[in-house]
A and B are shown apart, each in its own frame.
Chain A
Amino acid sequence: MWKFFHKLASPPHFYDLANKIIPWFIVPAILLITYGTIAGLFFAPMDYQQKDAFRIIYIHVPAAYISMMAYMTMAISAGIGLIWRMKLAHAVAAACAPIGAWFTFLALITGSIWGRPMWGTWWEWGDPRLTSELILLFLYFGYLALRAAIDDTSKADRSSAVLALVGAINIPIIHFSVEWWSSLHQGPTIVREGGPAMPMEMLLPLLAMILGFTFFFGAVLLRRLRTEVLYRERRTGWVKRMIQPAGGEA
């Protein structure tokens, strides 16, 4: 068991392993997102009050889900890196941030486009759900800026890990904002008491999109992680050997 973890955390081994498992994320991501898009846009019935405009849910909800899931992945990895001084965990946290920031941006933009025709506004300052999701974007920016500002990788790892962990308090705030405070945003549709407030033919494509986005996130994370590992190990023997094949002079 421990041997497996040590091997997993060893950069050269992980670099190869990541390459081998990326297809196991890419293929399900493509299948699920293709099914979800076609079923969601063409076959799911339209909503009784929002008509066809509700279909933006098939991008908005998965994006918002990944924006929070990526943050939790980042915070947990940062915590593991901080406690067990595991370099690979820090690399995972660093690789999560830009992906999470982009999905947060996507969630905010699609929400805004959805809000204009339905609510009658692009953006409302002071709404708890909207504001806390915007704070999430700023947390990602803060994390990226802090990393970029510190040259020493291990120092950058530790400082940004603390920021990631403290910022994790925002995640339950985003999730429960619509229940704790009065908000323009409606309550949860899928995870709620009494089951999802959506018929199966609308729900299945949505679940497929959420799962598909999750696989996509995994694939992009692994790709970023390979680059991150390569950069961190740039002065080690195995990277040099890989770039310059044995005996060859560059």
Chain B
Amino acid sequence: MLAVGLAALGILVATALTLSAFQENMMFYVEISDVKAGKVPNNRNFRVGGLVKTGSVHREEGEIELSFVLTDTANELTVVYDGVLPDLFREGQGIIAHGRMGSDGNFMADTVLAKHDENYMPPEVAGSLAKQQAANSAATTEETDPATEETTE
């Protein structure tokens, strides 16, 4: 029984260590604010998560490579990617990009994954919600940045 107790204790300690490792190093992705603060590995790949800024997706005619601005509404990061995008990739969508920082301060992605939230609703409901939101934001102040507007197709 002592051996079993010790084994159980051992597994518990191992679990606690794994949990704290998860907490510190195994975050699946980092926030944009951490990237901007330089809290990311320099010559290693990592994942960064955020929303695709509306109107920021930019692709040259006939090219696969595209760039877009990833935002957490306060900080922004330009992502460059040439590859296949998931179905859910679109402006305003939450995504996770895997890659590393380029020398020009842009994030060079080798994989782009789309995240979706826990809300499910019929298209008609989503449509009327979007209309309402648009009406609300039109009623308040206009918050468009002319600098990013130019990059829109």
Query: Cβ of A187: which chain B residues have Cβ within 8 Å of it?
Result: 117-118
| Closest-CB distance, A164 to chain B (whole angstroms) | 11
**Chain A minimum-CB-distance residue to B130:** A48
Given contacts A117-B86, A120-B113, A202-B120, whether A181 and B23 have CB atoms under 8 Å apart is yes
* Given A45-B122, A46-B123, A54-B120, A124 contacting B113 (CB threshold 8 A): yes
A48 engages B96 (CB within 8 Å): no
Pick from A28-36, A102-110, A191-199, A210-218 the stretch touching chain B. A191-199
User: Which residues in window 93-131 of B have CB below 8 A to A?
Assistant: 96, 111-127
Interface SS, A side: loop
Check: B66 CB closer than 8 A to any chain A CB. Answer: no
Structural contact, B8 and A181, CB atoms closer than 8 A:
no
Interface: B17 (CB within 8 A) = no
Chain B residues positioned under 8 Å from A199 (CB to CB)? 120-122, 125
A50, A57, A120: which contacts B112 (Cβ < 8 A)?
A: A120
Contacts of A124 in B (CB 8 A): 28, 113
* B89 contacts across to A, CB distance below 8 A: 120
* Known A50-B88, A183-B28: A173·B19 in contact at CB below 8 Å: yes
* B4 engages A46 (CB within 8 Å): no
Query: Cβ of A228 < 8 Å from any Cβ of B?
Result: no
- How many Å lie between the Cα of A119 and that of B93 in the bound state? 11
With A121-B111, A162-B7 in contact, do A192 and B118 touch (Cβ < 8 Å)? yes
* Chain A residues within 8 Å of B116, by CB: 49-50, 118-119, 186
Provided the pairs A48-B126, A128-B22 are in contact, do residues A189 and B120 lie with their beta carbons within 8 angstroms?
Answer: yes
A197 to B113, CA, bound (A): 23
In the bound complex, CA of A47 to CA of B121 (Å): 5
Number of A-B contacts (CB under 8 A): 109
A139 to chain B, nearest CB (A): 11
A37 to nearest B CB, angstroms?
18
Nearest Cβ in chain A — how far from B4, in angstroms?
5
Q: How far is the CA of A188 from the CA of B117 in the complex (A)?
A: 9
Interface pair A120/B86, CB less than 8 Å apart: yes
A197 touches B26 (CB 8 A): no
- Taking CB atoms, residues of chain B closer than 8 Å to A192 are 118
| A121-B111, A186-B116 known; A126+B88 contact, CB < 8 A | no
- Does any Cβ of B come within 8 Å of A150's Cβ? no
Contact B125 A181 (CB under 8 A): no
Q: Could you tell me the distance in whole angstroms from the C-beta of B115 to the nearest C-beta in chain A?
A: 6
**A120 to B22 CA separation, bound complex (whole angstroms):** 24
Query: Is the beta-carbon distance between A119 and B15 smaller than 8 angstroms?
Result: no
Q: How far is the CB of B18 from chain A (nearest CB, A)?
A: 9
Residue pair B28, A127 in contact (C-beta under 8 Å)? yes
The contact string, 1 if C-beta is below 8 Å from chain B, for chain A 80-120, is: 00000000000000000000000000000000000001111
Contacts of A121 in B (CB 8 A): 111, 113
Give the distance to chain A from B85, nearest Cβ to Cβ, in Å.
Answer: 7
What separation, in Å, do the CA atoms of A184 and B95 have in the docked complex?
Answer: 9
Are A117 and B118 neighbours in the complex by a CB distance under 8 Å?
no
Q: In angstroms, how far is the closest chain A Cβ from the Cβ of B81?
A: 12
Q: Judging by beta carbons under 8 Å apart, are B4 and A49 in contact?
A: no
List CB contacts (< 8 Å) of A154-176 with chain B: 158-159, 162, 165-166, 169, 173
The CA-CA distance from A199 to B120 in the complex, in Å, is: 7
Instruction: Kindly list 7 other residue pairs between chains A and B, CB separation below 8 angstroms, not including A120-B87, A181-B23, A192-B118.
Output: A47-B123, A119-B116, A126-B28, A128-B28, A184-B28, A197-B117, A199-B120
23 A-B pairs within 8 Å (CB atoms) are namely A45-B123, A47-B121, A48-B126, A49-B88, A49-B116, A50-B88, A50-B120, A119-B86, A119-B116, A120-B113, A128-B22, A158-B4, A159-B4, A166-B8, A169-B12, A181-B27, A181-B28, A184-B113, A189-B120, A198-B119, A198-B121, A199-B122, A199-B125
